[in-house]
Structure 1
Amino acid sequence: MYRPRDTRRAVLSGEIVSDLRNYTVDAQHIGHAFAALHGLGVTDLQALIAVMHAERRGELITPGRLGEQLNLSSGSVTALIDRLERTGHIRRDRDTADRRKVFLRYADQGARVAVEFFRPLGQRTDLVMDQFTDEDLEVVHRFMRMMVTSMRHHRDTLRPSPHPK
């Protein structure tokens, strides 16, 4: 659908895209600062975020699923998990029903250092959200979920498979 470039909607859309870009860049800087402080690489940080998100959703993530999410081979995932386990960031838990199955969880030490580092950001985020009504936040949440879905779909078209067929 054609819309003239100087409409209020076009200007607002451009500002939102710019804000999202700035937010993403700043979030990456913060993530890299956390990683550097704790001797973690970019992939290490992505793995920790994946484990944290799975736990927050009430799901458990397996090494295989982590490898799929990060587009890593099985050997690379094993080395990554070994490294994060040695540094106290994650732990392996065996499934009580099937001892062959392993789940990854945030270790107490890893959770402690993450909370300590990110607590000030969480407090700032809470102060911003307190300025909006529940209805406003519902609209923002719906917008963000749709933007995340759009971004992931685009990301997935760019990501090569680690296991060519």
Structure 2
Amino acid sequence: MPNPDAATAHYWYRDGDDDRQRRAVEVLQAFRVYRAAELAMRRRTREAMSMGENELLVLRYLLKAQAEDRRVSPSELARYLAVSTASTTAIIDRLEKSGHIVRRPHPTDRRSIHVIATEKSDQEVRETLGTMHARMMDAVRDMTPDESRTVIECLARLQDAVDQVEPQE
């Protein structure tokens, strides 16, 4: 009699009879479990910061841009989020009201503004995610160069596989 737990453990993937197939299923299952844990962490982070997914994405994007000494316009955020300019304005309004971002006039184009994450945002993100990032670094810091290369190459191949998925029309 088949084990019902085994059937649900690898819902999308058949175990197969050979070792290569079994190893492939184990690797993909490990990535699925990691991805589920990461999604749960993101949900907890959004709840802790009282933000939606797009608000948190905007903060991360702005903080990265600031670290690169880049200015970000509202239209750039709209493209990044793949949402309308009206939705982007609503997100910016909410983040500005909560003190997470400020709007500043563009230094050379008087018709434009750019959006900047506040020190409060940087501090809140660091407090919320800093310990987790340290644990993640600890988890991979001792990998050998070959192990690191293997993981990076595997993730690149998986990214390529999922990037090829086209929307259904």
Q: Same fold (TM over 0.5)?
A: yes
**In terms of Rg, which structure is larger?**
2
* Post-superposition offset of 1:159: 8.8
* Post-superposition offset of 1:90: 2.6
Q: 1:77 aligns with which of 66, 70, 88?
A: 88
Matched, 1:140 2:151: yes
* Post-superposition offset of 1:75: 0.7
- Listed as ranges, the gaps of 5+ residues in structure 1 are 161-165
Alignment correspondent of 1:151: 162
Q: 1:124 aligns with which of 114, 135, 150?
A: 135
* RMSD over aligned Cα atoms: 2.8
Letter in 1 for 2:167: L
Q: Deviations over 1:47-73 (max 9, x none)?
A: 333334545666544322222232211
Q: 1:22 aligns with which of 8, 29, 33?
A: 33
Alignment correspondent of 1:11: 22
**In the superposition, relative to structure 1, how do residues 133 and 93 fare at CA in structure 2: closer, same or farther (>3 Å)?**
farther
Letter in 1 for 2:38: A
Alignment correspondent of 1:44: 55
**In the superposition, relative to structure 1, how do residues 103 and 24 fare at CA in structure 2: closer, same or farther (>3 Å)?**
farther
Letter in 2 for 1:29: A
Alignment correspondent of 1:33: 44
Q: More deviation in 39-48 or 123-132?
A: 39-48
Aligned 1:86-97 pairs, distance under 5 A: 86-97=97-108
In the alignment, the residues of structure 1 paired with residue 159 and residue 103 of structure 2 have an alpha-carbon distance, to the nearest angstrom, of 29
Counting aligned pairs with the same residue, the percent is 21
Letter in 2 for 1:158: P
Letter in 2 for 1:49: R
**In the superposition, relative to structure 1, how do residues 31 and 7 fare at CA in structure 2: closer, same or farther (>3 Å)?**
same
Point out 4+ residue stretches in structure 1 off by more than 6 angstroms: none
Alignment correspondent of 1:163: none
* Post-superposition offset of 1:83: 0.6
* Post-superposition offset of 1:40: 0.8
